[in-house]
Structure 1
Amino acid sequence: MKKLVCSTIVALGALATALPAMAQELTFWSWRQEDKAQYQKFISAFETKNPGITVKFETFEATNYNTILSTALAGGSGPDLMFTRTYGGMETIASGGYLLALDKTNVPALSTFTAPALASETMRSNKITYAVPFASQTMLVIYNKDIFDKNGLSEPQSWDDFIKASEKLKAAGVMPFANGTATAWQNEVVVGGLVSSIMGRGFYDDLMAGKADFTDKRYVGALTKLKEITKYFPDGFIGLDYASAQQLFSSGMAGMFVGGSYELANFKKQNPNMKMGIFAAPGLKAEDEKLVALYFDGGYAANAKGKNQEAAVKFLNFLASQEFGQMFANDLNNISAVPGVTFKEPLLGEVADLNKHSIPYLMLVHFRYGEPSGSVLLQSEIQKLLGGKATPEEVGKNLTTGLANWYAPFKK
């Protein structure tokens, strides 16, 4: 009997050793409902290599996501892993102590990411990174190649070229641009996408050094040119919303659309037969550096109080890997923040090339850390500018005065 008991114990011990540890289920929250199928594929790839861990991916409506997430974290019922916003959006939850601090000791691949990518998920006060950046977005001009070819147009090299191309399309009965401004955030997009080259790198550097504000003649001059070119927007564009503007472009009724690189995948889905090209809106002269406006769009973070932190960190390391970055680029047609990723979609490769000459998408990157938000101010002021209710000088002054409520360099 003694021998039987002993042999049974030995057998059970061997069986326990042979079996994987008890499975751990990680919850992973996101606002990207439209990407759920792709993320399930990414998760399957991770689970195959990590048989003791499963990941449950849950999505929420984008506009309510921040509130849902912060409420859950504050109540102690938040997920193990989560999508985070960037810049000011990330700081809101990181400052509450809800996110696990990350560095090259727990996520070694972070040491290979670019400084601007890491800055998007780093707390300014303590210089700690709290999320793995997942994508960059670029504000640029997308154009319909068939329409350009039919009208003998090429990518403009100067502002005069840009105006002439718009005039030629209008004369041919084609809407030069599809954009409208009824959807507030689109007002910010057209600034970044159309006049970054005109405001220039010098203005950006001086702004960050505290040597300039938005009353600077370079910024006011850029807004003057913005107002000038929006006469080539559709009739009634002030009341034209985002979805309708997208439809005008994807249906072939307009030659150009000012938007983010994220639009490329959207337009390809809406009209698979449309041939698209992209360019950085030019400066005043052909020799001026052509700049796009760039920002980083979200990250992946772990719950600082999660019960499965070891497994969560293992998944974050997967999300920081080149293997994942390549799948992200291939399946989501987006610019992964992971260094060394290549692009099978030629247009994404062109975006990556344009990104070599970029300045940050100003309000989102630098001026969403206080109230009033720079984005909210700009969106409202541009609506007034394009509606004829404010001058470029007044817009520059109102932006500077509003931001001076919390942005120290503007307090005089």
Structure 2
Amino acid sequence: MKNKVIAALAAFFLLTPLALTAMGSNEKGSGSGEKVTLEFWTWRTEDVEFYEKVIQAFEKKHPNITVKQTAIKNTEYNTIVSASLQGGGGPDVFMGRAYGGLQTLADSGYLLALDNLIPNLKDYSEPAKQGARSIKDGKIYGLPALSQAIFCYYNKAIYKKLGLKVPTTWNEFISNLEVCKKNGITPLANGSKDGWTVETLLGGVGPNFYGANDFFNAVVAGKTTFEDPRFVDAVKKIGALRPYMPELFTGVGYTDIQGAFMNEMAAHMIGGSYEAGTFKANNPSLDFDAFPVPGTTAGKQYVTFYADMNWAVNAGTAHKEAALTFLQFLGSPEVGNMLISDLKMISSTPGVDTSLDPFVGKVITMMKNSTSYIFLVPFRYEQPTGSALWQAAGQGYLAGTLTAEQACKNVQTGIATYYKPFQK
């Protein structure tokens, strides 16, 4: 079994001949009992050992199929996969993006439609399938794998030491941050160097200020805009967190954010449910929990929800039968339960045991009051994407080069160049 971790885009160009010919090794097929080698690509460099475990379990059941794993840095993954597929190569089976990220590859004919190939697709939840469905032809181009929620992690040991309680209002949250700061503890790990982490901040803070599903539905329908005072207020709430972020937070990137909380140097981190497994793997003694970032008043608090990942099959694979066999294993309750127990992830697979991890159970409870990720779900299908617009605008706002109003206007103006409900 071979694991390749590609840590930089430059490495891709050095390995281009390999990358472009990776798909479809010399073996013929699995149906005849001949040996088949599949290329399997992921963007989870931190989970190589986990997927090695998955592959070993699969190969025990299917000794004629060998799976080679390649893990690519997440910020470079889309570019490398797209370039490989365009060149006629790439992986046989791979982690696929959801929503607009899936749409781009489906439109180009690179993804195998799964509607008539995976019998239990009908058993998946509709929100999970939404992230795998083309908005153009209605077909499913990925097997839903994971769902995520965004909320605030907190260090339980620090809370106990400082006598803090889980906040139920925004003022209580700010008060907790202030107490941490006065005691020499970095209150909030988040920074703004990487634009996508600024989008995560919005996903954590925003819903309980802009109005969760009411605003989401209205803005998607074109009945309001991102210059709505409710949305501007949500952005300003993010700005109110600046005094509690690390010094020089505009230079603090994702791994810095993750490391500060994981190594108990920061009391809070606004992030996704995907972080929990990394925290537990790298610091087993870390005692953490989570809460929705609260709004102005106590009561029902929302978290952001989104379909995060789909298992996809290259439409040009030379080993369709073997690829589908591996795909169905990835979508089995066995692997779904491993995702829960080992990575603390929210598996989209029907029939998994959500009681395997208490934290996962808590996240699922929080997700009962959830709203869709506001730029990821509806506004990543055209360019410039809502995500790209907000990430740049949010970075500018946090750096002080844009006001909240200007940041929101930039987002609205950019999306309105193609989004017809905004062109009325």
- Asked whether the two chains share a fold, i.e. TM above 0.5, the reply is yes
Residue among 391, 401, 411 paired with 1:389: 401
Alignment pair present for 1:115 and 2:126: yes
The match for 2:45 among 14, 24, 33 is 33
* CA distance, structure 2, for counterparts of residue 20 and residue 41 of structure 1: 26
Please state whether the residue corresponding to 1:58 is helix, strand or coil: strand
User: Does 2:324 match 1:313?
Assistant: yes
**CA pair 247-98 structure 1, distance change in 2 beyond 3 A:** closer
- CA offset at residue 216 of structure 1? 1.2
Contact 1:175 1:232 survives alignment (8 Å)? yes
Of the three residues 139, 142, 147, the one matched with 1:128 is 139
Q: Which residue of 1 aligns with 2:12?
A: none
The answer to whether residue 243 in structure 2 is matched with residue 237 in structure 1 is no
Partners of 1:91 and 1:236 in 2: how far apart? Answer: 37
Aligned to 1:400: 412
Distance 1:389 1:63, change over 3 A: closer
CA spacing shift, 1:356–1:340, aligned 2, 3 Å: farther
Contact kept? 1:401, 1:410, Cα under 8 Å: no
CA distance 1:271–1:40, shift in 2 (3 Å): closer
CA contact (8 A) 2:110 2:315 kept: yes
Structure-2 separation of matches of 1:204 and 1:374: 13
The match for 1:158 is 169
Q: Distance in 2 between matches of 1:246 and 1:29?
A: 24
SS at match of 2:95: strand
Instruction: Name the aligned partner's letter for residue 325 of structure 2.
Output: K
Q: Residue 13 of structure 1 aligns with which residue? A: none
In 1: Cα distance, 2:46 partner to 2:171 partner? 40
The match for 2:348 is 337
Aligned 1:211-222 pairs, distance under 5 A:
211-222=223-234
Q: Which moved more, 1:256-265 or 1:166-175?
A: 166-175
Q: 1:33–1:293: structure 2 CA closer, same or farther, 3 Å change rule? A: same
**Shift of residue 156, structure 1, vs aligned partner:** 0.8
Aligned residues of 2:155 and 2:268 also touching (Cα < 8 A):
yes
Partner of 1:350: 362
In the alignment, which residue of structure 2 is the partner of 1:5? none
- Match among 67, 79, 102 for residue 114 of structure 2: 102
Q: Report if the CA contact (8 A) 1:109-1:321 is conserved.
A: no
- Name 2:25's counterpart in structure 1: none
Q: Which runs of 5+ in 1 are unaligned?
A: 1-18
**Mean Cα displacement is larger for which, 386-395 or 205-214?**
386-395
**1:213 and 1:390 mapped to 2: Cα distance?**
18
Distance 1:249 1:35, change over 3 A: closer
Paired position in structure 2 for 1:66 = 78
Structure possessing the higher radius of gyration over alpha carbons = 1
C-alpha deviations, 1:295-323, integer Å up to 9, x for none?
Answer: 22221112223222122222222222212
In 2: Cα distance, 1:27 partner to 1:245 partner? 32
- CA positional deviation for 1:343: 4.3
Q: What number of residue pairs does the alignment pair up?
A: 392
SS state at 2:361 partner: helix
Equivalent residue letter for 2:339: F
| Corresponding position: 1:147 with 2:165 | no
TM-score, normalization: structure 2? 0.87
> Residue 293 of structure 1 aligns with which residue?
304
Q: CA deviation at 1:219?
A: 0.8
* C-alpha RMSD over aligned residues: 2.0
CA deviation map 1:72-124 (0-9, x unaligned): 32333233222211122111211111211112x32122111111211111111
Work out which of the residue numbers 260, 273, 278 in structure 2 matches 1:248. 260
Amino acid at match of 1:62: N
Structure 2 counterpart SS, 1:398: helix
Where in structure 1 do 4 or more consecutive aligned residues deviate above 6 Å? Answer: none
Superposition TM-score, scaled by structure 1 size: 0.89
- Whether the 8 Å contact between 1:135 and 1:337 is mirrored in structure 2 is yes
* % identical aligned pairs: 41
User: What are the ranges of 5 or more consecutive residues in structure 2 without an aligned counterpart?
Assistant: 1-30
Deviations 1:8-57 (CA, angstroms, capped at 9, x unpaired):
xxxxxxxxxxx972233322222323322222221222232234433233
Cα distance change of structure 1 residues 25 and 239 upon mapping to structure 2, 3 Å threshold: closer
Change (3 A) 1:236 1:71: closer
The alignment partner of 1:364 has SS state of: coil
Does the aligned pair in 1 maintain the 2:277–2:342 contact within 8 Å?
no
Q: Distance in 2 between matches of 1:212 and 1:276?
A: 38
Which residue identity lines up with residue 273 of structure 1 in the other structure?
Answer: S
Q: In structure 2, what is the equivalent of residue 276 of structure 1? A: 288
Q: Distance in 2 between matches of 1:95 and 1:188?
A: 26
Aligned-pair distance for 1:207?
1.5
> 2:149 touches 2:306 (CA, 8 Å); kept in 1?
yes
Aligned partner of residue 181 in structure 1, secondary structure: coil
The residue number in structure 1 matching 2:372 is 360
Q: What's the secondary structure of 2:376's corresponding residue?
A: helix
- Cα shift at 1:62: 3.2
SS of match in other structure, 2:270: strand
Q: Is the 8 A contact 1:107 1:316 kept in 2?
A: no
SS of 1:127's partner is coil
- What is the 5 A alignment of 1:257-268? 257-268=269-280
CA contact (8 A) 1:145 1:275 kept: yes
Question: Match for residue 391 of structure 2?
Answer: 379
